[in-house]
C-alpha cells in the first residue's frame, strides 16, 4: 500500500507565511514519487478550543469536528508539521489540533518545517517533546527557514536553494520511518 504523508499547515492567522511554506513543501514532496503527500490546512477543520469531555486517549470523540479531524489524521502513516514560532513555541492552533487526538498519532513518523527569526527551531524543540508523548517517531532532519534570509520583507517567501537538500533529507527519513513503523500500526 502507498505510504501516505500529511503535511500539516500549523498557522491559521490572516496573512500567514505558513501557507506559502506548506505549499512549497507539498510541491517538492509530490515530485518524489515515493509516497502520497496531502496538504492538511487546520483552517479547513474549524476546531474550537478543545471541547471533548473524555481524554483523547480513549478515542471516544463526541463532536463531529473531532470525528472529521480524527478520520483525516487516521488516514496517514506519517506527517510533516509546518510550524511558525510564536513566543518560542509552536502555534496555539497547532497544539490545540494535536491535543484533540491521541491514537491517530501513535506509531507514526513526523518531520518538521519551521520558520521564524531563528528558523523556528525553538518551536520544533517543543514539538519534539509533544511527539514523544504521542508515541510518534520524530526524525532528526528538519527544515529551518529564516525570516531574514528565506523571506523578503519577512513576508514574501523566497527560500534559499540550499533548503532543497534539507527538505529532501527530512522527507527521506519521514517516508522511511513511516514505512518501518507499519507493523506496529497493524498490531
In the complex, the residues that contact ligand FMN under the rule CB under 6 A are 11, 13, 16-18, 84-88, 116-118
Nearer to ligand FMN by Cβ, of 13 and 185: the residue is 13
One DSSP character per residue, 120-181 reads THHHHHHHHHHHHHTTEEEEEEEEEEETTTSEETTTEE---TTHHHHHHHHHHHHHHHHHHT
Nearer to ligand FMN by Cβ, of 144 and 174: the residue is 144
Residue 167 Cβ, how far from ligand FMN at the closest point, in Å? 17
Residue 144 Cβ, how far from ligand FMN at the closest point, in Å? 11
Residue 185 Cβ, how far from ligand FMN at the closest point, in Å? 30
Nearer to ligand FMN by Cβ, of 89 and 178: the residue is 89
Instruction: Look up cell 478520520; give the residue.
Output: 71
CA–CA gap between residue 160 and residue 183 (Å, rounded): 38
Nearer to ligand FMN by Cβ, of 27 and 117: the residue is 117
Lay out the sheet containing 4-9: strands in order across.
36-41, 4-9, 78-84, 108-116, 136-146
Residue 16 Cβ, how far from ligand FMN at the closest point, in Å? 3
Amino acid at each position: 500500500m502507498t505510504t501516505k504523508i500529511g503535511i500539516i499547515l500549523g498557522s491559521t492567522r490572516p496573512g500567514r507565511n505558513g501557507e506559502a511554506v506548506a505549499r512549497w513543501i507539498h510541491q517538492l514532496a509530490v515530485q518524489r514519487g515515493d509516497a502520497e503527500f496531502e496538504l492538511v490546512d487546520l483552517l479547513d477543520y474549524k476546531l474550537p478550543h478543545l471541547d471533548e469531555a473524555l481524554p483523547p486517549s480513549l478515542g471516544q470523540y463526541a463532536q463531529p469536528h473531532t470525528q472529521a479531524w480524527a478520520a483525516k489524521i487516521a488516514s496517514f502513516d506519517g506527517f510533516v508539521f509546518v510550524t511558525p514560532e510564536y513566543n518560542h513555541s509552536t502555534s496555539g492552533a497547532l497544539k490545540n489540533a494535536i491535543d484533540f487526538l491521541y491514537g491517530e498519532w501513535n506509531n507514526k513518523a513526523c518531520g518538521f518545517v519551521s520558520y521564524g527569526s531563528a528558523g523556528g527551531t525553538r518551536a520544533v524543540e517543543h514539538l519534539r517533546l509533544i511527539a514523544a508523548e504521542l508515541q510518534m517517531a520524530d526524525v532528526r532532519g528538519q527544515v529551518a527557514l529564516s525570516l531574514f534570509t528565506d523571506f523578503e520583507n519577512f513576508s514574501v517567501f523566497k527560500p534559499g536553494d540550499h533548503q532543497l537538500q534539507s527538505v529532501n533529507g527530512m522527507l527521506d527519513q519521514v517516508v522511511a520511518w513511516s514505512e518501518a513503523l507499519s507493523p506496529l500500526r497493524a498490531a
